[in-house]
A and B are shown apart, each in its own frame.
Chain A
Amino acid sequence: MKGGIVALCCENSGWKALASLGDDPVLDGVEAVRLPCSGKAETGMMLKILEKGAAGVLVLGCPKDDCTFLRGSARAQKRVAVARAALKDAGVGEERVRMEFISSVDTPRLAEAIRAMKAALEAHEGKA
Chain B
Amino acid sequence: MITAVRKPFDEIRDLVKGYDRLLILGCGTCVTVCMAGGEKEVGILASTLRLADQKDGRSREITEATIERQCDREFFDAVKEKMAAADAVLSMACGVGAQFCGEVFAGKAVLPALNTKFYGTTEGPGVWSARCSGCGTCVIADFGGICPVTRCSKSLLNGPCGGSSKGKCEVDPANIECGWQLIHDRMKLLGRLADLEAVQPLKDWSTGRDGGPGRIVKEDATL
Interface residues of A (CB under 8 A from B): 42-44, 47-48, 50-51, 82, 86-87, 89-92
Given contacts A43-B44, A47-B44, contact A89 B50 (CB under 8 A): no
Q: A50–B40 contact, CB under 8 A?
A: no
Residues of B near A82 (CB, < 8 A) are: 44
Interface size on B, residues (CB 8 A): 14
Set B40, B51, B52, B56: member contacting A44, Cβ < 8 A? B40
For the complex, give the distance between the alpha carbons of A90 and B58 in Å.
Answer: 13
Report B-chain residues with C-beta under 8 Å of the C-beta of A50: 47, 51
For B28, what are the chain A residues with a Cβ–Cβ distance below 8 Å?
Answer: none
Q: How many A-B residue pairs have CB under 8 A?
A: 45
Q: Is the interface of A mostly helix, strand, loop or mixed?
A: helix
Is there a chain A Cβ closer than 8 Å to B10's Cβ?
A: yes
Bound Cα distance A51, B50 (Å)? 7
| Contact partners of A90 in chain B: CB under 8 A | 9, 48-49, 51-52, 55
Q: How far is the CA of A89 from the CA of B50 in the complex (A)?
A: 12
Residue of A nearest to B43 (CB): A44
How long is the Cα–Cα vector from A43 to B43 in the complex, in angstroms?
9
Say whether A86 contacts B40, CB under 8 Å: no
Interface centre among B9, B44, B49 (most CB of A within 10 A): B44
Complex Cα spacing A5 to B44, Å: 20
Show 7 residue pairs from A and B whose CB-CB distance is below 8 angstroms, ordered by the A residue: A43-B40, A44-B43, A44-B44, A87-B51, A90-B48, A90-B49, A91-B52
Q: Which residues of B contact A47 (CB under 8 A)?
A: 43-44, 47-48, 51
Distance in Å from the Cβ of A48 to the closest Cβ of chain B? 5
- How far, in whole Å, are A87 and B43 apart by their CA atoms in the complex? 14
Q: Chain B's nearest CB lies how many Å from the CB of A81?
A: 13
Choose from B40, B48, B54, B56 the contact partner of A89 (Cβ within 8 Å). B48
List, in ascending order, chain B residues with CB within 8 A of A51's CB.
47, 50-51, 54
Instruction: Give the one of A42, A48, A89 with max B CB within 10 A.
Output: A89
Instruction: Name the one of B44, B54, B56 contacting A86, with C-beta atoms under 8 angstroms.
Output: B44
The reply to whether A42 and B47 form a contact with Cβ atoms under 8 Å apart is no
CB proximity of A72 to chain B, nearest CB, Å: 14
Q: Would you call B9 and A86 a contact (CB within 8 A)? A: yes
Interface centre among A50, A86, A87, A90 (most CB of B within 10 A): A90
Residues in chain A near residue B10, CB distance under 8 A: 89
| B51 lies within 8 A of A92 (CB) | yes
Q: Which of B147-181 contact A (CB under 8 A)?
A: none
Q: Assess whether B40 is in contact with A42, with CB atoms less than 8 Å apart.
A: yes
